[in-house]
């Protein structure tokens, strides 16, 4: 049985006061569930991570980062390493979020180096994959997602793979209010699990959690979670409102 996992990606939002109050409100709302019935993480902007880690230190809610650089240290102005994130109490890190792929222009090779460095640095990467609307319309979803998955995981041993969470996030559903139907999410996510089984082995593929992300809201969370290969949710906009994020977490377990 895969334990459900709900993560809230705050993107470039909040400030020093609201990041702490949001974290507190989420903790108050799901204190009994987090860690017991499901795993929960919040993913603030880098500069508020320490404050949020402090706020959540007595809870079972984990904290993640939205990105990481693959080098360990040195002359890489502006970048943050996995050991730095680990040092301030981060557990998870997003790799290959669609906004980084398409706005910042990260490619699969860079994302693969980040995934690998994150694991070596003791973090748990959440590797995001997903197709553009043109690719879905051209019936290329399977090919695009498989390619991102194969390249994103390239060179990773079985042992390292067990640290990875995957997130299927169709780009056309992120921040748009358009959600993949539960059937669309299931179809892609079961294909991803089959591919993992070919790349590694069936048991490992069975254990890996695959989240769905893209306009998840309190009213669609439960039906998405009812799909056999949807093991959790990666939530953007709705994770900024504590009532909505709490409702999504409750719907997911
Ligand atoms: C995301 O940022 O990963 C995301 C899924 O955003 P939203 O829920 O706003 O679509």
157-216, pLDDT tens digit by residue?
Answer: 999 999 999 999 999 999 998 899 999 999 999 999 999 999 999 999 999 999 999 999
pLDDT attached to residue 219: 97
Active site residues: 97, 169
- What mean pLDDT do residues 64-73 have? 98
pLDDT attached to residue 95: 98
pLDDT at 16 over 90: yes
**111 vs 31, more confident:** 111
CB distance 248 to ligand 1 below 6 Å:
no
pLDDT attached to residue 166: 98
Share of the chain above pLDDT 70, in %: 100
pLDDT at 1 over 90: no
Nearest alpha carbon, ligand 1 atom 8? 236
Our mutation pick for probing the ligand 1 site, out of 8, 10, 11, counting the most ligand atoms within 8 A of Cβ, is: 11
Give the Cα-Cα-Cα angle 95, 99, 105 (nearest 5 degrees).
85
Q: Which residues of 106-137 are buried (b: 16+ CB within 10 A; e: fewer)?
A: bebebbbbbbbbbbebebbbbbbbbbbeebbe
Our mutation pick for probing the ligand 1 site, out of 236, 248, 252, counting the most ligand atoms within 8 A of Cβ, is: 236
pLDDT at 117 over 90: yes
pLDDT at 84 over 90: yes
CB distance 227 to ligand 1 below 6 Å:
no
Secondary structure class of 168 (helix, strand, coil):
strand
pLDDT attached to residue 205: 97
**44 vs 1, more confident:** 44
- What residues pair up with 65 in beta bridges, in sequence order? 93
CB distance 213 to ligand 1 below 6 Å:
yes
- What residues pair up with 127 in beta bridges, in sequence order? 95, 166
> Average pLDDT of the chain?
97
pLDDT attached to residue 226: 98
pLDDT at 24 over 90: yes
Q: Are 170 and 189 in contact (CB under 8 A)?
A: no
CB distance 8 to ligand 1 below 6 Å:
no
């Amino acid at each position: 049985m895969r334990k459900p996992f709900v993560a809230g990606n705050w993107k470039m939002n909040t400030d020093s006061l609201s990041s702490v109050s949001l974290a507190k409100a989420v903790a108050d709302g799901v204190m009994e569930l987090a860690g017991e019935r499901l795993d929960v993480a919040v993913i603030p902007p880098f500069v508020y991570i320490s404050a949020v880690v402090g706020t959540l230190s007595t809870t079972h809610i984990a904290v993640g980062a939205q990105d990481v650089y693959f080098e360990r240290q040195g002359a890489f102005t502006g970048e943050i390493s996995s050991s730095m994130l680990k040092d301030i109490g981060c557990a998870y890190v997003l790799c290959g979020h669609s906004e980084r792929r398409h706005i910042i222009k990260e490619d699969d090779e860079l994302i693969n180096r980040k995934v690998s460095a994150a694991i070596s640095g003791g973090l748990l990467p959440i590797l995001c994959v997903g197709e553009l609307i043109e690719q879905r319309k051209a019936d290329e979803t399977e090919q695009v997602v498989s390619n991102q998955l194969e390249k994103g995981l390239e060179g990773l041993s079985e042992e390292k793979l067990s640290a990875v969470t995957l997130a299927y996030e169709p780009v056309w559903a992120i921040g748009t209010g358009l959600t993949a139907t539960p059937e669309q999410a299931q179809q892609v996510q079961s294909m991803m699990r089959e591919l993992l089984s070919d790349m590694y082995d069936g048991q490992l593929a069975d254990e890996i959690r695959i989240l769905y992300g893209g306009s998840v809201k309190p009213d669609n969370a439960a039906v998405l979670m009812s799909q056999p290969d949807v093991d959790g949710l990666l939530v953007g906009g709705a994770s900024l409102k504590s009532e909505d994020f709490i409702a999504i977490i409750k719907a997911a377990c």
